[in-house]
Amino acid sequence: MDVRDRHLNLAEWNALIEESLADPASEPILNLDPAPADPVYDAVFVGGGAGGRFGAAYMRAMGGRPLILDSWPFLGGSCPHQACVPHHLFSEAAEELDRMRWFSDELFFPKFDPSRAGILEMVRLFLAGRGSAHAFMNWQTKEQLDVEFVLNARATIVDRTTVTAAGRTFRARNLVLGMGARPVRPEIPGLDLPGVFDFVSLVEELDYEPARCVIIGGSKVAMEYGAFFHATGCDTTIVSRSPLMRTKSLHHVDEDLRQYVVGGMRKRGMEILEGAHPVSVNGDGAVRSVTVRLESGEQREIETDFVFLGLGERPNVAQAVAALGVEVGPTGRVVANRRMQTSVPGVYAIGDMIDGPMEMFKARKSGVTAARNIMGEDLEFDFTEFPDFLHTTYEVTWVGLTEAEARATRDDVIVIQMPPYVEGLDTPNLPLPCAEGTMLYAFSKPELSGFQKLVVDGATRKVLGAHHCGYGAKDAFQYLDHLIHRPEGLTIDELGWMNELFLNPEHFVQLSRLRAGKARLTHL
Amino acid sequence: MDVRDRHLNLAEWNALIEESLADPASEPILNLDPAPADPVYDAVFVGGGAGGRFGAAYMRAMGGRPLILDSWPFLGGSCPHQACVPHHLFSEAAEELDRMRWFSDELFFPKFDPSRAGILEMVRLFLAGRGSAHAFMNWQTKEQLDVEFVLNARATIVDRTTVTAAGRTFRARNLVLGMGARPVRPEIPGLDLPGVFDFVSLVEELDYEPARCVIIGGSKVAMEYGAFFHATGCDTTIVSRSPLMRTKSLHHVDEDLRQYVVGGMRKRGMEILEGAHPVSVNGDGAVRSVTVRLESGEQREIETDFVFLGLGERPNVAQAVAALGVEVGPTGRVVANRRMQTSVPGVYAIGDMIDGPMEMFKARKSGVTAARNIMGEDLEFDFTEFPDFLHTTYEVTWVGLTEAEARATRDDVIVIQMPPYVEGLDTPNLPLPCAEGTMLYAFSKPELSGFQKLVVDGATRKVLGAHHCGYGAKDAFQYLDHLIHRPEGLTIDELGWMNELFLNPEHFVQLSRLRAGKARLTHL
């Protein structure tokens, strides 16, 4: 279907996308500028996910001519379809369910009715609504960002300047590969049994309400989805080789933060088996149990009707390797430099296909970096340092160094935190942090009211790291990341002179101010 | 009671404070360093609220010797006792109640039971817990901040170097006046009837569950408390002379934001009478009704059992004027320069006693400014520009210029917002913003999912203002304020290169990035 001269509204886009998804024989969706004929694009973006869409939009904004090809009938990739958007919807539900459970029959909260809560209903809520985000991104990309695209058509890379899709051949001076990743499936028996899911198949295929969950893996996805499952009332066991949040895919996890977060999961009744290995998934026609080798060496069989894989993702590199011979590194991902250039001249790789965190900021900014370099800018994107987050029933955010990392290289490390950095303080019933987002907890169940820590270099007075568990600070960590990592850094004096919006989710501004007067800083 | 050599733990502080509050004849609480005898303090802080406590702590951190005097048995002032802390507890309850009402009998939410929700229960929850914050601040000020104080003793200013309290005379080189403010009571008949409250008496005196509320005034407090009362099921009418959020005490309120926020209050069933004047509060032994002159000129009598005054606050200046002769300006507040110096040499005034927003950042930083100037620094505190917020059942935040303010002085103003800045887009059922904190709304009741707007100077590419209604962005606005108002400002290019933590409450980073490639910016 050629939509070039049609200005579909959001409802029309929604209908077209839904029809295309429902019908395997549906037509490609073409938004191609007819003039000039047979163009050579500045870049063909193979994959219109976060990286491809942002990269193409930036290139177009600069005056370049990009083309996006995607096999899905919508732009935006897995995020709105299967990944970040459902995750955030589920995590918001988890937060709410968690609060309703803790306050069951207290204050204005009714007695919690576990029969109302379920995974399946939330999956269906997501499925009923996800088309709107797809429709918006197609609309925006065409009408506001003026980017050409061919959707609902699988691209075939012919060579480094040629790609075919929808029966057409497209030529480009450069290729930008943004072909995404898929969930890792471990090498254990039984994973083909009905009842084994990952975050993709969960939203695409779940058709029953699980009663009991075993999660294989200890990734962010394992923690986030596990916390959600458990909050709905589906008793959840996480089987993880590494201690949670101590996996090599997460950097800068402060130990106190980790203990608060993982302790909070256990406090809510989740079973977390660390140092444990899955041996087999067992069943007959459907999942019945998971056999696990515990840290002690003994085996345990855990009955379950629902297994969820949370082992991370693996990039989709096969076509790029076969067609172009791009170099792949020891992690299985395409090797790219800081300009996103691969081993093949004129071929760029972005997003989850390359090393680094499989996070939105990297996907989008790597796409933009490729675009800007193609358009002649000399720009490097260094994503060795970045802020990070995950959800349990809390929002957990961190940036910069942990206390231990700071102490490893510095003599004079100052910690400012809530609850305070004091041994022997009688903290039972101490409603601290008394913070926006945890006020009800602070006044009713103080031990649930969160944790926050600022790590400061006593010599330079610069903030080295910030760590938070609570609600409502995630947005701020984007700006803290910028401030901490700019060349001049952020001193406790500058931070302490900012204008707080009290009562705030994290108290870093005002706590810094209470110490900033000191020439020689001390803990708080 | 001399606590100098005692290291009370939090429970002991809590008990001492509660006993002192309960007994009008209770002793002063003295934390005074005995050596040297008869000291001359660098400053006596008259009032240990936010400004006095932070100012004294900063002075002590710098090596000075401050003394705090306060008539309450705790430090921290009205914030934890009657103001910001209960406001935030109530606003969090309002958010939660609002969600439970919208989702009544949908998803995992049970049918909303209005008989469970009430104002009185939340007031009692606050009262039962507020002592913990008091205890902590006393503990922290003594043990961590090393500040001397005399509490539970009314201070009498003798002259500009002498204050008496607890039967003792204290001498100081400087006085810092932080004596706070009290709610304004308008000149209308009937305000002495039982059933008329302000935010102070609400927490101190409420002893019944109101059924119907009339709020006199259109201040932030009126909106915040009104939204809470209404969310509990107490039908609320706001009687305001000015349109809400268009009062002179609030700056930089964008009209689109205002309409979303006030429209949202009306959508929830609140009655908002703008251009209306209260004529009288009527009753016989208790409030029975309020007579109001409407904008049309006609009078209306509104039956109610609960009247709440939300007309702002007036500073406590009488003693300072009588004892010291400090100059008071046309607003009734003490005149102070940017060093917080009053008309009387050596006398400083801080917090709500001086002009400017009666907000925490100003209280604390004005105290610190006084301290630093006293200690010899040459420091000015300019609070003409600052970020601001209020709550309804939403969190509403803003900083910098509105769209209209920007357009008034610039030809090239670019707006980036969600929902998009497009006329004629079919926005029904558009789940945008699809933002952290409003995910459940986005997928179920899209029109409730918030509003966000960034105002950019097209010529300089600098961010001029940011405006948000939703949840979870307030913390970020502290840092946005810093970035926007630093001398070099914040360009859309810098903002668009930050590392977003997607899916975020506000989408300013990624939306900026979608436009930043353009040499000539356009709306989004």
Per-residue pLDDT of B170-182, as tens digits, reads 999 999 999 999 9
Tell me which DSSP letter residue B520 carries.
Answer: S
Task: Determine the 3-state secondary structure of A126 from DSSP.
Answer: helix
User: Phi and psi (nearest 5°) for B103?
Assistant: -100, 15
Alpha carbon distance B313, B332 (integer Å): 11
> What is the average per-residue pLDDT within B112-121?
96
DSSP state of A503: S
What DSSP line would sit under A439-493, residue for residue?
Answer: HHHHHH-GGGS-EEEEEEETTT-BEEEEEEEESS-HHHHHHHHHHHHSTT--BHH
Three-state SS letters, B123-159: HHHHHHHHHHHHHHHHHHHHHHCCCEEEECCCCEEEE
Average pLDDT over residues B26-53: 96
Give the pLDDT mean for A162-184: 97
- Mean pLDDT for chain A overall: 97
Altogether, the residues listed in chain B come to a count of 524
> Does A133 contact B431 at a Cβ distance shorter than 8 Å?
yes
Best interface-test mutation with B: which of A443, A444, A480, A509 has the largest number of B CBs within 10 A? A443
Q: How many H helices and E strands in chain B?
A: 15, 25
Looking at residue A431, its pLDDT comes to 82
Whether B428 shows a pLDDT value over 80: the answer reads no
C-alpha to C-alpha distance for B235 and A213, rounded to whole angstroms: 44
Backbone angles phi, psi at A517, to 5 degrees: -65, -20
Query: Which one is catalytic: A84, A193, A430, A524?
Result: A84
A487: Cβ contacts below 8 Å, ≥ 6 apart: none
Name the residue facing A144 among B116, B420, B430 (closest C-beta). Answer: B420
CB contacts, 8 Å: B439 with chain A: 85, 88-89, 92
The active-site residue, picked from A107, A108, A501, A502, is: A502
Per-residue pLDDT reduced to its tens digit, A455-505? 999 999 999 999 999 999 999 999 999 999 999 999 999 999 999 999 999
Pull the structure tokens for residue A361.
Answer: 């900021």
What sign does the CA torsion over B120, B123, B127, B128 have? positive
Beta strands in B310-408 (DSSP E): 313-315, 347-349, 388-391, 395-400
Q: What is the pTM of this model?
A: 0.98
- The reply to whether residue B54 touches residue A524, judged by beta carbons under 8 angstroms, is no
Residue in chain B closest to A432 (alpha carbons) equals B133
Residue with tokens 């109530």: B90
Query: Is the CB of B84 less than 8 angstroms away from the CB of A439?
Result: no
Q: Nearest CA to CA, how far is A498 from chain B (Å)? A: 6
Residue A465 Cα, gap to closest chain B Cα (Å): 16
Contact A509 B478 (CB under 8 A): yes
Out of B113, B386, B494, closest to residue A499 by CB: B386
Test mutation, B396, B479, B494, chain A, max A CBs within 10 A: B479
Q: Tens of pLDDT along B379-415?
A: 999 999 999 999 999 999 999 999 999 999 999 999 9
pLDDT of residue A425: 77
Question: Is the CB of B472 less than 8 angstroms away from the CB of A472?
Answer: yes
Note which residues in 31-60 of chain A have CB less than 8 A from chain B: 54, 57-60
Render pLDDT for B18-37 as a digit per residue (tens, 0 to 9): 999 999 999 999 999 998 88
Neighbours of B399 (CB within 10 A): 28
Q: Which of B136, B390, B467, B499 to mutate to test the interface with A (most CBs of A within 10 A)?
A: B499
Q: Is the pLDDT of residue A245 over 80?
A: yes
Active site residue A45: no
Q: Do B472 and A475 touch (CB under 8 A)?
A: yes
Structure ipTM: 0.98
A233: pLDDT strictly greater than 70 = yes
Which residue is closest to A419 within chain B, CA to CA? Answer: B136
User: Taking residues A260-288, what's their average pLDDT?
Assistant: 98
Nearest CB among A368, A472, A478 relative to B501 is that of A478
Indicate the residue type of B513: R
Helix axes B50-61, A508-516, angle to 10 degrees: 40
Summarised one tens digit per residue, pLDDT across range B291-348 is 999 999 999 999 999 999 999 999 999 999 999 999 999 999 999 999 999 999 999 9
Whether B518 and A61 lie within 8 Å, measured CB to CB: yes
Distance between CA atoms of residues B423 and B162, nearest Å = 65
Sort strands B175-177 and B168-172 into parallel, antiparallel or unpaired: unpaired
Alpha-carbon distances, residue B302 vs A32, A341, B164, B193, B199 (angstroms)? 63, 71, 49, 16, 21
User: How many angstroms separate the CA atoms of B269 and B31, rounded?
Assistant: 51
A 390-419: CB under 8 A from B: 395, 397
Tokens found for residue B78: 């009205």
For position B385, what pLDDT does the model report? Answer: 97
d(CA A493, CA A515): 9
Option in B368, B422, B431 nearest A513 (CB): B368
Q: For residue B510, which residues of chain A lie inside 8 Å, CB to CB?
A: 54, 364
Say if the Cβ atoms of B500 and A478 lie within 8 Å.
yes
> What count of residues does chain A have?
524
Residues of chain B found within 8 Å of residue A426, distances taken between Cβ atoms: 9-11
Put simply, the answer to whether A498 touches B477 (Cβ < 8 Å) is no
Among chain A residues, the shortest Cα distance to B521 is held by: A61
Q: pLDDT at position B427, please?
A: 63
What residues contact B241, with CB distance under 8 A and at least 6 apart? B218, B274, B275, B276, B277
Is the CB of B475 less than 8 angstroms away from the CB of A85?
no
Answer whether B359 sits within 8 Å of A125, measured CB to CB: no
List all residues of chain B from 482 to 511 with a beta carbon under 8 Å from chain A.
482-483, 494, 497-506, 509-510
Which structure tokens are listed for A259? 């203990």
Amino acid at A397: T
User: Chain B partners of A381 at a C-beta cutoff of 8 Å?
Assistant: none
Give the chain A residue whose CA is nearest to the CA of B368.
A513
The backbone region for A515, taken as left when phi is positive above 0, alpha when psi lies in -120 to 50, beta otherwise, is alpha
B133: nearest CB among A58, A420, A431: A431
Write the residue in B57, B444, B480 that is nearest to A479 by C-beta: B480
Q: Across-strand partners of B303?
A: B289
Region for B194 from its dihedrals, namely left if φ exceeds 0, alpha if ψ lies in -120 to 50, beta otherwise? beta
Is the CB of B118 inside 8 Å of chain A's CB atoms?
Answer: yes
> Is-catalytic flag, A79?
yes
User: pLDDT at residue B206 above 80?
Assistant: yes
In angstroms, what separates the C-alpha of B31 from chain A's closest C-alpha?
19
B468 neighbors B481 (Cβ within 8 angstroms):
no
What is the band of A85 on the pLDDT scale with cuts at 50, 70, 90? very high
Contact at 8 Å (CB) between A294 and A276? yes
CA angle A244, A222, A316 (to 5 degrees): 115
Q: Exposure pattern of B2-37 as b/e (b: 16+ CB <10 Å)?
A: ebeeeebebebbbebbbebbeeeebebbbbeeeeee
Q: Across the interface, which of B63, B132, B473 has its CB nearest the CB of A430?
A: B132
CB atoms within 10 A of CB B445: 15
Residue for token pair 């839904």: A18
- Is the four-CA dihedral B225, B231, B232, B233 of positive or negative sign? positive
Asked if A511 is an active-site residue, the reply is no
- Supply the DSSP string of B12-77, one letter for each residue: HHHHHHHHHHH-TTPPPEEE---SSSS-EESEEEE--BHHHHHHHHHHHHTT--EEEE-SSSSSBT
Distance, CA of A424 to CA of B509 (rounded, Å): 42
Identify the pLDDT of residue A131.
Answer: 93
List chain A residues with CB under 8 Å of B57: 514, 517
Strand partners, A176: A45, A348
Q: How many CB atoms lie within 10 A of CB A32?
A: 15
Of the candidates B54, B426, B500, the beta carbon closest to that of A514 is on B54
Instruction: Enumerate residues 6+ apart whose C-beta is below 8 A from B117.
Output: A108, B97, B231, B232, B233
- Per the listing, tokens 């610069």 go with A462
Digit-coded pLDDT (tens) for A420-468: 988 777 766 678 899 999 999 999 999 999 999 999 999 999 999 999 9
Helix (H, G, I), strand (E, B) or coil at B278: strand
CB contact, 8 Å: A93 with chain B?
yes
Distance CA B275, CA B266 (A): 16
Residue B33, pLDDT score: 96
Domains with residue ranges and CATH for chain A:
10-79+128-182+314-374 (3.50.50.60), 196-311 (3.50.50.60), 394-516 (3.30.390.30)
3-state DSSP assignment of residue B400 = strand
DSSP structural state of residue A28:
P
Average of per-residue pLDDT across B264-293: 98
User: Are B516 and A61 a contacting pair at CB < 8 A?
Assistant: yes
Q: Nearest CA to A202 among A221, A223, A180, A181?
A: A221
Contacts of B497 in chain A (CB under 8 A): 365
Closest chain B residue by Cα to residue A499:
B361
CA distance B512 to B466: 12
* Cβ neighbourhood burial of B469 (10 Å; 0-12, 13-18, 19+): buried
Report CA Rg, chain A. 25
How far is C-alpha A104 from the geometric centre of its chain's CA atoms? Answer: 31
Distance from CA of B407 to the nearest CA of A (A): 22
Count the Cβ atoms, other than its own, within 10 Å of residue B161: 16
- Cβ distance A65 to A172 under 8 Å? no
Average pLDDT over residues B494-516: 98
**Spatial distance between the Cα atoms of B304 and B278, rounded to a whole number of angstroms:** 13
- A98/A109 Cα distance (integer angstroms): 12
**pLDDT score for B443:** 96
Amino acid at A442: A
Query: Which pLDDT score, from 0 to 100, does residue B411 have?
Result: 96
pLDDT confidence of residue A427? 63
Identify any residues that bridge with B389 across adjacent strands, giving them in sequence order: B397
Chain B: closest CA distance from residue A277 (Å):
31
Of the listed A16, A67, A79, A273, which one is catalytic?
Answer: A79
Measured CA to CA, the distance from residue A203 to residue A228 in angstroms comes to 14
Which chain A residues are closer than 8 Å to B517 by Cβ? 57-62, 368, 371-372
**pLDDT of B426 strictly over 80:** no
pLDDT digits (tens, 9 = 90+) for B55-97: 999 999 999 999 999 999 999 999 999 999 999 999 999 999 9
pLDDT at position B121: 98
